[in-house]
């Protein structure tokens, strides 16, 4: 799968499935709406119309089903006919699974995706997750041939016209972002250290004509970034704060995406055990998602100021490592007593959101992070957790997740009850909770928010993606599609506008305070 090029085309053309294997995929009632004349050239001479109709009649998805049409060269697969209210109508997770299990092998292959136009974006991103880029298998590195998978969409329903060139370009940019994020997360820390991550940021910047701002190593300390510096100062490769800034003419607001980029998390001196440390190369999933989404968003004509802030560090062990009981001064000006060096993500993000607020003047700050193991318990393996000071944005995150396939579910937002968990006798706060049974994922997010202030008039959104950032031992690129969908109205692209749950403006209710009005302001 690692050497696969994914191509979205308006028409995949005709080909004998023995020379170009084929997977036809969609909900059963949608598959029945595909005329034989459309698939005939992709199936003949191996498959007749009678065989095609017979295969459709045998499918009984529960939740999915598949039927081979000709040996292992052509397969039709059916998605769930219906999903629950907390799932995506696209059934995105099942798309990825069916592609992995049903797509026949071959150098040149084809997928015919049958869906409604509103599900095309989520379906494309789900397809991308089935083709990870990173591998170090020796056999794969010896292969030189480039494999291609051509994806053609057959749209059904009300808006069932042909797929426009602009839509194909949007799908290409989005899926490249998903695969970029997944590759970074899959790459181990002996390669994807902070130096290498900075190179990835520079490559994206060069591609977009943007020079990143980079604050690194001792400069972090002298400029007051005690969170990032304190977490990463024991590592061989020094920590960094990096920023990519897109500032188009005519922008009316400023948005900051702040990503947690812990390239490896040993837990520091509060060290993780032998069963919980493997997989911690994925602790940079938030920063990877922000990078992939930023690249796609700018390419798709993002209209407002957009800053991607990357908080990069390796939480390592060494003579210079932060100790429990140490006190750090963070960029917000607040002091933090360290009582758990394994609660490091919130420290680097606290510096990142403070920088976004104080230096970048952001109206909307969204931080995205593999923050807590408790997230998987609170909202599960498939749904990221959202914590925000805005009810409107909480609802928008849930809706965006359903539209793009990166599912989201709310956490309790109640700082007046939960923030006391961080009480310290000698500093402004501790960095880890006193009671781990008291909504720890909510509390971890509140720690970050406290460094811009609970009375801050802008919109703050926290996304904890610890569990959905991977499926088994593979990264998913989770978060890229979600950011693109959530902020789709800030793009020129019609498809991103379609999947965005937010309007350009929401009129403030009569009597709203200035703070409430600002919170209602959407992209």
Q: Which of 33, 46, 202, 272 is catalytic?
A: 272
CA dihedral 205, 211, 216, 220 (to 10 degrees): -120
Contact of 299 with 496, CB cutoff 8 Å: no
3-state secondary structure of 309: strand
For 202, other C-beta atoms within 10 Å of its C-beta total 16
Q: Which residues pair with 75 in a beta bridge?
A: 23, 68
Q: For the stretch 101-122, what's the b/e string if a residue is b when 16 or more beta carbons lie within 10 angstroms of its beta carbon?
A: ebbbebeebbbbbbbbbbbbbb
Q: Which of 42, 97, 216, 346 is catalytic?
A: 346
Number of H helices, E strands in the chain: 19, 19
The whole-angstrom separation of Cα 371 and Cα 431 is: 13
Closest to 120 (Cα-Cα) out of 72, 154, 86, 78: 154
Closest to 296 (Cα-Cα) out of 438, 173, 154: 173
- What kind and span of H or E run contains 403? helix 391-404
Contact of 296 with 484, CB cutoff 8 Å: yes
For 274, other C-beta atoms within 10 Å of its C-beta total 7
Token pair for residue 65?
């089903």
Closest to 173 (Cα-Cα) out of 488, 510, 509: 488
The whole-angstrom separation of Cα 177 and Cα 477 is: 8
Q: Specify the DSSP class assigned to residue 362.
A: -
- The answer for 511, left when phi > 0, alpha when psi is -120 to 50, beta otherwise, is left
CA dihedral 343, 347, 352, 357 (to 10 degrees): 120
Token pair for residue 173?
């940019």
Residues 6+ apart with CB under 8 A from 276: 373
Residue 346 annotated among the catalytic residues of the structure: yes
Residue positions annotated with a catalytic role: 272, 346
């Amino acid at each position: 799968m690692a050497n696969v090029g994914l191509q979205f085309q308006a028409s995949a053309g005709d080909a004998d499935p023995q020379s170009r294997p084929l997977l036809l995929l969609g909900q059963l009632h949608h598959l029945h709406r595909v005329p034989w004349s459309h698939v005939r050239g992709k199936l003949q001479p191996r498959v007749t119309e009678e065989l095609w109709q017979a295969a459709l009649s045998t499918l009984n998805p529960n939740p999915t089903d598949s039927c081979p049409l000709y040996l292992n060269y052509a397969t039709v697969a059916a998605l769930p006919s219906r999903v629950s209210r907390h799932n995506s109508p696209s059934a995105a997770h099942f798309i990825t699974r069916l592609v992995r299990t049903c797509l026949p092998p071959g150098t040149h292959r084809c997928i015919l995706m049958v869906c409604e136009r509103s599900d095309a974006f989520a379906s494309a991103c789900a397809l991308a997750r089935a083709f990870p880029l990173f591998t170090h298998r020796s056999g794969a590195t010896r292969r030189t041939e480039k494999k291609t998978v051509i994806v053609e969409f057959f749209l059904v329903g009300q808006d069932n016209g042909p797929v426009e060139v602009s839509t194909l370009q949007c799908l290409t940019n989005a899926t490249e972002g998903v695969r970029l994020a997944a590759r970074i997360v899959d790459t181990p820390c002996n390669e994807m250290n902070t130096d290498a991550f900075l190179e990835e940021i520079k490559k994206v910047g060069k591609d977009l004509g943007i020079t990143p701002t980079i604050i690194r190593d001792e400069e972090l300390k002298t400029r007051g970034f005690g969170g990032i510096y304190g977490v990463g100062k024991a590592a061989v490769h020094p920590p960094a704060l990096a920023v990519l800034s897109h500032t188009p003419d005519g922008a009316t607001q400023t948005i900051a995406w702040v990503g947690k980029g812990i390239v490896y998390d040993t837990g520091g001196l509060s060290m993780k055990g032998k069963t919980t440390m493997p997989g911690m190369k994925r602790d940079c999933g938030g920063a990877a998602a922000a990078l992939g989404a930023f690249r796609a968003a700018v390419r798709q004509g993002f209209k407002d100021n957009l800053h991607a802030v990357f908080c990069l560090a390796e939480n390592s062990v060494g003579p210079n490592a932060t100790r429990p009981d140490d006190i750090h001064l963070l960029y917000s000006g607040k002091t933090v007593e360290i009582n758990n060096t394994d609660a490091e993500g919130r420290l680097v993000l606290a510096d990142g959101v403070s920088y976004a607020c104080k230096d970048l003047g952001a109206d909307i700050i969204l931080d995205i992070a593999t923050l807590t193991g408790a997230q998987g318990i609170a909202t599960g393996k498939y749904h990221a957790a959202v914590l925000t000071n805005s009810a409107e944005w909480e609802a928008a995150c849930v809706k965006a997740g359903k539209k793009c396939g990166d599912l989201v579910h709310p956490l309790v937002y109640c700082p007046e009850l939960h923030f006391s968990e961080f009480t310290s006798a000698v500093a402004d706060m501790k960095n880890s909770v006193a009671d781990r049974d008291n909504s720890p994922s909510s509390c971890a997010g509140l720690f970050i928010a406290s460094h811009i202030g609970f009375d801050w008039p802008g919109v703050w959104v926290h996304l904890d993606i610890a569990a959905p950032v991977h499926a088994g031992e593979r990264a998913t690129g989770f978060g890229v599609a979600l950011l693109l969908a959530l902020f789709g109205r800030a793009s020129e692209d019609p498809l991103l506008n379609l999947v965005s749950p937010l309007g350009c403006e929401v009129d403030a209710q009569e009597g709203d305070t200035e703070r409430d009005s600002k919170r209602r302001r959407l992209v």
